[in-house]
Amino acid sequence: MERLARLAVEFGANVQPGQIVSISTEPGKEELTRAIAEAAYERGARFVDPWWFDPHVKRSRLRHADPETLSFVPEWHGRRLLELGEVGAAAIALSGLVEPNLMSGIDPALLALDMLPQLKESGPLVEGRRVNWTVVPCPTPGWAAQVYPGVAADEALRRLGEAVADICRLSETDPVAAWEARLAQLDAVRERLNALALDSVRFEGPGTDLTVGLLGGSRWTVARFSTLDGVVHTVNLPTEEVFTTPDPARTEGTVTSTKPLFVSNQLITGLRVRFEHGRAVEIEADQGADTLRGLIGRDADASRLGELALVDGDSRVGRSETVFFDTLLDENAASHIALGQAYGLCIEGEEDLAQINESEIHVDFMIGGDDVAVTGMRRDGEVVPLLRGGRWQI
């Protein structure tokens, strides 16, 4: 926990002396939260400000409150986020559920109304580039039980801890050097992808033939950002992806997810989505289809894509061959797309920026794998293989 905390503070968020440091956390994640606070204060933070969200309280709300009120969030939560930007704070969020089955039995339509702890201000906060931030996984016993069912509780937690240590490269002698090396690889791929000037990307595999159109201003990006003041930070640990913002109007075809996804505290397996003119028009799943159907009804853009990400077979998450039921990890296992809110920072040019997805949801799902071929169509019409058998072809 202490090494993970140091990585989050010193490398991920790259906390600067004198900064306020927000930690988005939950009851049940005390150990890592406190280790992060300790590391941040040791590094000279001015104030560490944990923001604790309790899903049990949310469950009471979903069970008893008037559905009409479920979208309501007191103003101060969103404004706190915007003010983190105004004061130039650092922010660290902890992924990983404490009680994965807590929301079972709750109507998915209600879950789609109450998006907390997600706040709509988090998009503008990221776009504003005033906050150096990161998201890191926090192993918990409940999460471990879900990842390693049938394994004794202590052993499951130990295994999850080891998996996270491996995936976050904490098992390396010099984790920061290992991350610098991987990020340099991803950055080189990013440059080559941008040089290709792609018009669209096609995924072909079992149950999948999907074409995702790009905007002229779509720029491939890695999860290493810089604030306007030049503080370089790695926004996801782990990160294995090169991603961009697609044209929300040009997704066509059918896609089958290659991993389960876990959203609104609900598991969705065997997901199949058909897109027409950019919109998800059919959603089927072995389990949990209603949850996603509820979410894409939330607003006008919720059924359109907001992200396209490519992940190669060197991903440590992918190589672990483990389903983590956690987007931060699972999205870094394989190429993926996301319904909902797009990153403006992947777009060059005001005109294209005005077109990107502005939904309040953002739901990643994994569609890549060794048996999914990824091919680029250049604006000049040339067809370029991008990934074959999980290996870059460019």
Q: Which residues are at the interface with a second copy (CB under 8 A)?
A: 20, 27, 30, 33-34, 37-38, 41-42, 44-50, 52, 54, 56-57, 60-61, 63-66, 69, 72-76, 79-80, 83, 87
Q: Please, are residues 299 and 360 in contact by the beta-carbon 8 Å criterion? A: yes
Closest CA to 245 of 168, 301, 324: 301
In whole angstroms, the minimum distance from the beta carbon of 112 to a second copy comes to 17
Residue 116 or 345 having the CB closest to a second copy: 116
Minimum distance, C-beta of residue 43 to a second copy, in the bound complex (Å): 9
User: Can you give the chain as a three-state secondary structure string?
Assistant: CHHHHHHHHHHHCCCCCCCEEEEEECCCCHHHHHHHHHHHHHCCCCEEEEEECCHHHHHHHHHHCCHHHCCCCCHHHHHHHHHHHHCCCEEEEEECCCCCCCCCCCCHHHHCCCCCCCCCCHHHHHHHCCCEEEEEECCCHHHHHHHCCCCCHHHHHHHHHHHHHHHCCCCCCCHHHHHHHHHHHHHHHHHHHHHHCEEEEEEEECCEEEEEEECCCECCEECEEECCCCCEEECECCCCEEEECEEEEEEEEEEECCCCEEECCEEEECCEEEEECCEEEEEECCECHHHHHHHHCCCCCCCEEEEEEEECCCCHHHHCCCCCCCHHHHCCCCCEEEEECCCHHHECCHHHHCCCCCCCCEEEEECCCCCCEEEEEECCCCEEEEEECCEECC
Phi/psi for 212 (5° steps) reads -110, 115
Q: Whose Cβ is closer to a second copy: residue 89's or residue 337's? A: 89
Nearer to a second copy, 15 or 356 (CB): 15
In angstroms, give the least distance from the CB of 142 to a second copy. 14
d(Cα 388, Cα 312) in Å, to the nearest integer? 9
CB of 99 to a second copy, least distance (A): 11
Q: Is the peptide bond before 117 cis (omega within 30 degrees of 0)?
A: yes
Shortest distance in whole angstroms from residue 345 CB to a second copy: 25
Assigned token pair, 292: 């996603």
8 Å CB contact between 251 and 202: no
Cβ proximity to a second copy, 27 vs 216, nearer residue: 27
Please give the single-letter amino acid code of residue 170: L
Which of 3/274 has CB closer to a second copy? 3
The pairing of beta strand 47-52 with beta strand 20-25:
parallel
